[in-house]
């Protein structure tokens, strides 16, 4: 799949009336699989853009064939430079399913572009596997972290994953086996829809398929062993799942804190003084479109945080190494902020509150007298809610048992006007 980021280009409000750009989905059967409208767009185009594989599949064209420029981010300016001429852009199957369609739409007005898709690789995989698509988790590992698949590893789940290249199937198999899902079935679907289509299956723990072509998809039928590390759907992952040096928001308090932050789909969290990164990681796990910035001053903690986010399947968490509040400069405006460290440092809470979007939520935890005093002052200035959270756990006392109280946590929550 080809992708680019058009954030620097504004949506066109001027240009020729009617579509000058045709976005055509191309399957592995090449020109033979194109409908009449797609073939007409191809024949009438003065310029045809596509990957080298795309251009090889369609063969000779009347217009000028141009392979995608390198680096690929230069593709969008090259296309826009041809505005007004008949242009055809070739994409893989459905351009709006992990394809370039979304990027083009941000730069080209709808009336200027004609879209002629084909079946997506996900749709074809479902037909081959006889899996209802609505029952499958769909994930792209093309140009993305392999760990994106981890949150989808639920017992009995069916996962369709678009591979990055021929090495992806074996890498996914190793990841599954390492996490206790070695009995899962992995079906490798190669060159779907073309004359070289091939489908093979193997168990993750025994995976030894070779000769896999770069263009492939995975269909994973997830089977969890007794020791499998399955990510629960509730807040409060086990503390032992995090690598940490003691600076960790413990599971009970973390669950309460996430509830106070009230994550919503697609929102951005600032996790300030992130430590092991547990709050930011769990924020990202709440929804696949959630993102987090983890601000951490100490390099060794930042490195540890990076390992935790991959081990727990939260690549959308971005680590910002540096001292707050100076490290806030230039960062995207947050929907919510959690302050777990640095609360008593000058200016941190004020800068975090100022950065919040209107109606954004800020939650801060303190366990020291100095931290409590800071929260009391912030409460007096901004309002909100204060609460003290006490947790006790049963511990052995010799041959008997008794309750051992953890340090009480004072929590402030406020919604910005």
CA separation, residue 371 to residues 202, 307, 339, 366, 374 (Å): 55, 29, 11, 5, 5
The confidence score (pLDDT) of residue 73 equals 80
Tokens representing residue 130 in the block: 């006889």
Q: Is the per-residue pLDDT at 332 higher than 50?
A: yes
Residue with tokens 């739409």: 105
Categorize the per-residue pLDDT at 26 as very low, low, confident or very high, splitting at 50, 70 and 90. very high
User: Does 11 score more than 80 pLDDT?
Assistant: no
* Residues 288-331 pLDDT 10s: 999 999 999 999 999 999 999 999 999 999 999 999 999 999 99
Token pair of 324 as six digits: 């707050």
249 near 365, Cβ under 8 Å? yes
pLDDT category, 70, cuts 50, 70, 90? confident
Average pLDDT of the residues in 269-290: 97
- pLDDT at position 2 is 46
CA distance 335 to 382: 17
Q: Which of 36, 76, 84, 45 is nearest to 63 (CA)?
A: 45
Q: Report whether pLDDT(98) > 90.
A: no
pTM: 0.88
pLDDT of residue 326: 97
Question: What average pLDDT does the segment 66-91 reach?
Answer: 91
| Distance in angstroms (rounded) separating the CA atoms of residues 309 and 318 | 9
Write out pLDDT tens, residues 199-239. 999 999 999 999 999 999 999 999 999 999 999 999 999 99
- Whether 357 and 324 have beta carbons less than 8 Å apart is answered as no
Indicate whether 13 pLDDT > 70. Answer: no
- Bridge partner residues of 403 (DSSP): 394
How far is the C-alpha of 375 from the C-alpha of 340, rounded, in Å?
12
CATH class of 239-415: alpha beta
Q: Domain 21-118 falls in which CATH fold? A: Cobalt-precorrin-4 Transmethylase; domain 1 (3.40.1010)
pLDDT tens-digit readout, 236-258: 999 999 999 998 999 999 999 99
Q: What is the pLDDT of residue 18?
A: 72
pLDDT digits (tens, 9 = 90+) for 152-177: 999 999 999 999 999 999 999 999 99
Average pLDDT, the chain: 93
Residue spans of alpha helices (H) in 29-134: 36-44, 52-58, 75-80, 101-105, 121-129
The CATH architecture annotation of domain 122-221 reads 2-Layer Sandwich (3.30)
Dig out the tokens for 152 from the structure.
């989808």
What is the residue extent of each domain of the chain? 21-118, 122-221, 239-415
Q: What is the pLDDT of residue 3?
A: 47
Express each pLDDT in 388-401 by its tens digit: 999 999 999 999 99
Band of residue 14 on the pLDDT scale cut at 50, 70, 90: very low
Is residue 9's pLDDT more than 50? Answer: no
| Tokens 């770069």, located at residue | 214
Give the distance from CA 187 to its chain's centroid. Answer: 23
Would you say 305 and 294 are in contact if contact means Cβ atoms under 8 Å apart? yes
Predicted pLDDT at 17: 53
């Amino acid at each position: 799949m080809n992708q680019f980021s058009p954030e620097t280009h504004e949506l066109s409000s001027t240009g020729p009336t009617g579509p000058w750009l045709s976005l055509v989905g191309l399957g592995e059967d090449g020109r033979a699989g194109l409908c009449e409208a797609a073939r007409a767009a191809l024949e009438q185009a003065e310029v045809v853009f596509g990957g080298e594989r795309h251009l090889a599949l369609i063969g000779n064209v009347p217009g000028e064939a141009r392979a995608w420029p390198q680096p690929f981010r230069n593709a969008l300016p090259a296309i826009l430079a041809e505005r007004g001429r008949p242009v055809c852009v070739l994409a893989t199957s459905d351009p709006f399913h992990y394809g370039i369609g979304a990027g083009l739409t941000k730069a080209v007005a709808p009336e200027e572009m004609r879209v002629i898709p084909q079946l997506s690789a996900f749709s074809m995989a479902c037909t081959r596997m006889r899996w209802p698509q609505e029952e499958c988790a769909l994930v792209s590992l093309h140009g993305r972290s392999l760990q994106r698949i981890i949150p989808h590893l639920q017992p009995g789940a069916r996962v369709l994953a678009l591979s990055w290249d021929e090495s992806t199937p074996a890498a996914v198999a190793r990841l599954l086996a390492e996490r206790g899902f070695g009995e899962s079935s992995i079906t490798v679907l190669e060159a779907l829809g073309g004359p070289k289509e091939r489908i093979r299956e193997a168990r993750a723990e025994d995976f030894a398929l070779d000769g896999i072509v770069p263009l492939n998809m995975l269909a994973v039928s997830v089977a969890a062993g007794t020791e499998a590390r399955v990510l629960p759907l509730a807040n409060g992952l086990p503390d032992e799942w995090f690598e940490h040096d003691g600076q960790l928001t413990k599971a009970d308090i973390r669950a309460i804190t996430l509830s106070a932050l009230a994550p919503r789909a697609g929102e951005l969290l600032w996790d300030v003084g992130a430590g092991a990164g547990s709050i930011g990681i769990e924020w990202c796990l709440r929804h696949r479109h959630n993102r987090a910035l983890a601000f951490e001053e100490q390099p060794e903690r930042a490195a540890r945080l990076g390992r935790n986010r991959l081990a727990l399947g939260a690549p959308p968490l971005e680590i910002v190494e540096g001292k707050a509040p100076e490290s806030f400069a230039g960062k995207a405006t947050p929907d919510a902020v959690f302050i777990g460290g640095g609360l008593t440092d000058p200016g941190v809470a004020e800068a975090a509150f100022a950065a919040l979007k209107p109606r954004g939520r800020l939650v801060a935890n303190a366990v020291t007298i100095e931290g409590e005093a800071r929260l009391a002052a912030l409460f007096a200035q901004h309002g909100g809610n204060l609460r003290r959270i006490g947790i006790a756990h049963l511990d052995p006392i010799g041959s008997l048992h008794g309750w051992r109280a953890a340090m009480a946590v004072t929590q402030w929550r406020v919604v910005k006007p």
